[in-house]
Structure formats: structure tokens, C-alpha cells
């Protein structure tokens, strides 16, 4: 556990030192969301209906923006080979890298989302559900993205392949997250949708480290 925490801290420090890795996804999230009122007009009721979907679509794309570097740098400079030979299981290495990715990508989106919701005139009763859906859903985006990044590691035009592989897997998360926010805005209970997101989170936590580790071993052979 201590080795895993040290790897998490090292990855986090490295990503914070390279400011572009932290700024680019958040800047994309903010700018892409702010373009919506310019494209569809400032009509409040229309913006209220579009807000959950637009916030989640841009959050999904912002997460995707930083995925291709999840293992690529370590693969290119040989660090991944050394990590694979270390006593720490490769599954734990995957979890540490996913956690660092979420802290530098998903957490800033979680912080920025309420401000963007206010600009998009999100229903006042939906803000808590928006935050809970992002808290449950963005780690799943990072975990699924880690699997995609491991599968496409070393491939030519890996970024395009990664997007093609990962985007279909993101669709259920997008559907249940926006449905939860929409239900809260209509005065209905978002609990069933949030429970499904929680089940995705647990399933990802259990399955993704093993699947991604197997893909990394294949890429390193």
C-alpha cells in the first residue's frame, strides 16, 4: 500500500509540474460548455433542458483529452518496464495511475461544474445531483479510459483508436448521469440512476485493474 501511495504521489507531482496536463482538460470543459449559449441562444428554458447533457458531454470529452498520456510517457522512456518488474503488482500500478488521473482531471471538473451549471441556468434542485453524478461517474471515465489507453498502448495513431474504443463504453455513464440530473430537476428521485452509477464505479474498481494490467503486459511483450 505504501508503494502504491508513493507511485500515486509521484504521478500526481509529475502531472502538476507539467501544467498543460492539468489546465487543458479544464479549459476545454469550461470553453466548450460556454459555447452552448452562443450556439443555441440565451432562452432560459432551452438552456435548462440542455444543461445536464452539455455539462456531461463536455466533461466526458475533457476526460478523454488527457487519456492518451496515462501510460504513454512511461512506455516511451522505459519506466513502465521497470514498474512491471517491481514487486508492486501491475494492477495496483494501474489503480495508482487512475487515481492520479482523476485528481488532476475529474476533480477540477467537479469543482467547475456548479459555476457552469449556473451559467447554463441549471435547475436549482439539480446541483447536488450534478455533483454526486460527477463524483461517481468521472472516476469510472478514468478507469474505462485507463483500459482503453492500455489496449492501444504502442499502436500507431493510438489517440484516434483510443477515442473509438472508449466513447461507446462511456455511453451508459452519460445516459444514467444525465437521467439522474433530469429527474432531480423534475422533482423525481435520482436515486435509481445514481445507484446504477455507483454499481459501474464498483464494477470498474474490481475489473478494470486486471483488464488494464493484462493489456499492459501484452504491450510490453
Owning domain of residue 159: 2-220
| Mean pLDDT value across the chain | 87
Give pLDDT, residue 158. Answer: 62
% residues pLDDT > 70 (the chain): 95
Q: Is the pLDDT of residue 192 over 80?
A: yes
In angstroms, the Cα distances linking 74 to 44, 66, 79, 87, 204 are 47, 15, 5, 17, 23
> Per-residue pLDDT tens for 62-97?
888 878 778 877 787 778 888 888 788 888 889 988
What lies within 8 Å, CB to CB, of 126 at 6+ separation is 51, 52, 117, 181, 182, 184, 185
Q: Which of 28-42, 79-93, 182-196 has the highest mean pLDDT?
A: 182-196
Reported as a pLDDT band with limits 50, 70 and 90, residue 1 is: low
CA proximity to 119, closest of 56, 55, 182: 55
Please tell me what DSSP assigns to residue 106.
I
More confident residue, 204 or 2: 204
In angstroms, the Cα distances linking 141 to 36, 76, 208, 210 are 23, 24, 11, 16
Q: How many helices (H) and strands (E) does the chain have?
A: 10, 0
Taking the mean position of all CA atoms in its chain, how far away is CA 208?
Answer: 14
Give pLDDT, residue 68. Answer: 74
The average pLDDT across 201-211 equals 93
What lies within 8 Å, CB to CB, of 100 at 6+ separation is 8, 11, 12, 15
The average pLDDT across 40-56 equals 86
d(CA 216, CA 149): 9
Residues in the chain: 221
The total domain count for the chain is 1
What's the CA dihedral at 64, 32, 43, 189 to 10 degrees?
Answer: 30
Q: Is the pLDDT of residue 161 over 90?
A: no
Q: Rounded to two decimals, what is the model's pTM?
A: 0.90
Amino acid at each position: 500500500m505504501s508503494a502504491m501511495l508513493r507511485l500515486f504521489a509521484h504521478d500526481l507531482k509529475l502531472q502538476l509540474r507539467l501544467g498543460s496536463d492539468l489546465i487543458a482538460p479544464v479549459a476545454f470543459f469550461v470553453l466548450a460548455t460556454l459555447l452552448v449559449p452562443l450556439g443555441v441562444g440565451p432562452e432560459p428554458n432551452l438552456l435548462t433542458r440542455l444543461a445536464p447533457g452539455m455539462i456531461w458531454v463536455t466533461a466526458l470529452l475533457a476526460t478523454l483529452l488527457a487519456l492518451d498520456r496515462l501510460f504513454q510517457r512511461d512506455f516511451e522512456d522505459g519506466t513502465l518496464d521497470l514498474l512491471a518488474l517491481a514487486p508492486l503488482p501491475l494492477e495496483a500500478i494501474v489503480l495508482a495511475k487512475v487515481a492520479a488521473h482523476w485528481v488532476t482531471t475529474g476533480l477540477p471538473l467537479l469543482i467547475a461544474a456548479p459555476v457552469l451549471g449556473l451559467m447554463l441556468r441549471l435547475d436549482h434542485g439539480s446541483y447536488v445531483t450534478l455533483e454526486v453524478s460527477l463524483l461517481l461517474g468521472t472516476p469510472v471515465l478514468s478507469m474505462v479510459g485507463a483500459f482503453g489507453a492500455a489496449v492501444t498502448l504502442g499502436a500507431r495513431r493510438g489517440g484516434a483508436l483510443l477515442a473509438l474504443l472508449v466513447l461507446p463504453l462511456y455511453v451508459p455513464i452519460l445516459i444514467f448521469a444525465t437521467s439522474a440530473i433530469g429527474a432531480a430537476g423534475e422533482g423525481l428521485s435520482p436515486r435509481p440512476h445514481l445507484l446504477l452509477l455507483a454499481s459501474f464505479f464498483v464494477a470498474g474498481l474490481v475489473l478494470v485493474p486486471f483488464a488494464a494490467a493484462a493489456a499492459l503486459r501484452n504491450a510490453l511483450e
